[in-house]
Amino acid sequence: MSPRSWDIFCTVIDNYGDIGVAWRLARRLAHDRGHAVRLWVDDLASFARIAPGLAPALPQQSLAGIDIRHWPQAGFPADIIPADAVIEAFGCRLPDSFEAAMAAQAVKPAWINLEYLSAEDWTLSHHKLPSPHPRLPLTKHFFFPGFDAASGGLICEDGLIDARAAWQADDAAQNAYWLRRGLPPRVPGELRVSLFAYHNPAAAKLLQAWADGPLPVRCLVPEGKALPAIAGWLGQPLQAGGHARLGNLDVHVLPLSDQDDYDRLLWSCDFNCVRGEDSLVRSQWAARPMLWHIYPQDDDAHIAKLEAFLEQYCAGLPAGMAAALRALNLAWNRHGDIAAAWRDAAPWLPAWRGHATNWQQHLLKDGDLAARLLHFVGEIS
C-alpha cells in the first residue's frame, strides 16, 4: 500500500545542504504527488534563508502547502500521531517518544533513513537494507540516493526538464532574469559562470586564470563560505550586490536566493561550480558543464567519493575529455594546479554541454528519487 502522509525529520548540520534536500523532497511529495507532508526542522532560522516565506519564530506554520514544525531538542510533543511513512534525513535520530508512538500504531509506519548521496559501490549493497529496532516492533530501511538504476536516484520534479529547456531557449526571459538580479545582459563571446563553493584556496587561482584568459568571464558568486577568500584575493570587501573587475573577469556577489531562483541561475549560466549534495543534483538538471566542490572530510575520504562519481560521470567519454574533466575536478578539490586544469578542460566545453544533456537523460531513465522511494515504501508497507 502506498503512503498518503509523511513525516520528514531534518537537523541542519552544514548550513543549507541537509535542509535543502529535505525541503525539495517535501515539496516533491506534496506538490507532484498530492501527499500530506509534515516537515520537522531543528533550525528554522537557517531554513528561512532558502525559504523566504518561513517565519523562524513560529513553531508551527504552513508554507507551500507543507506543514512545517519546529523540532525541539527537548520536550517533543506527546500528542503527535505518526504519518504513514517517516523519513529521518541523513541519519538524524528520531525522538524516543515519536518512536514509541510509531510502535503503538496498529499499522506501523514505513521508516526510512534517507542517506547521503554517493556513487561508491558499497552503497548499493546497503541500499534498502532493513535495520530492526533493538527494543520496539519497528524496522528501519536505508535508502541511498545515487546515479544509477540500482540506487535510490535523485530528486527531480515533474515538468522540471521541460521547464529548463524552455527557459534556456528563451533569451528574453533570461535577459529579464539578469535585469531583475541587477546584472547586465550577455556580451558576445562571454562565458557566464556561477560559483558556489566551500572555503577553497583554489578559488583565487581559478579566478586569476579567468582574469588572464582570452574570453570575457562573468562570475556570479552567491553569498557563502567562498566569499571571504575571493574578497581577499581581490583586495576589497565584497557583499551582496557588490561587483569587482580584474582583466577579463567580472565578479558579482548575489544574495542567497530560494531554491527555484537558484535553479534558474544554474540554467542561465554556461558553467556551474557547485558544492555539497543539493546544488550538485540541481546542476545535473541544468544540463551544463559543472565543477563539484565535494564536502571536505578528514583523511581525504571525500576524494574517494569524488572519484566514484567521476568514474560514472565520465564513462564513455573520449579519453582526452574524460582525463581533462577528472583533472579539473581533482585540482579543485585537492588544491592542485587549477589554472592548468582549466586550460586543458576549456576546449572541451562544447562537447561537455552535449554530454551534460545525455547524462541527465541517463539519470532519469529509471525514475527520480521520489518515484523509486514510493515504489519501495509500497513494497515494505
Residue 122 is inside which H or E element, if any?
A: helix 121-126
Which position among 7, 18, 84, 344 bears the catalytic label?
18
314-319 contacts, C-beta under 8 A, 24 or more apart: 317/355, 318/351
DSSP percent split of the chain into helix, strand, coil, nearest 5: 45, 20, 40
Give the angle subtended at the CA of 190 by the CAs of 201 and 242, to the nearest 5°: 55
Identify whether 18 is a catalytic site residue: yes
Identify whether 277 is a catalytic site residue: yes
Instruction: Name which of 82, 121, 128 is nearest 376 in CA terms.
Output: 128
Phi, psi of 249 (to 5 degrees): -115, 130
Cell of 131: 535495520
Which position among 88, 250, 263, 277 bears the catalytic label?
277
- On the 0-12 / 13-18 / 19+ scale of CB atoms within 10 A, 91 is exposed
Q: Which residue has the cell 581525504?
A: 300
Cell of 33: 504527488
Extract the runs of DSSP E, i.e. beta strands, from the chain: 5-10, 36-41, 60-63, 66-70, 85-89, 110-114, 130-132, 139-143, 191-195, 217-222, 243-246, 249-254, 271-275, 290-293
Instruction: Name which of 70, 84, 105 is nearest 33 in CA terms.
Output: 84
Catalytic residues: 18, 277
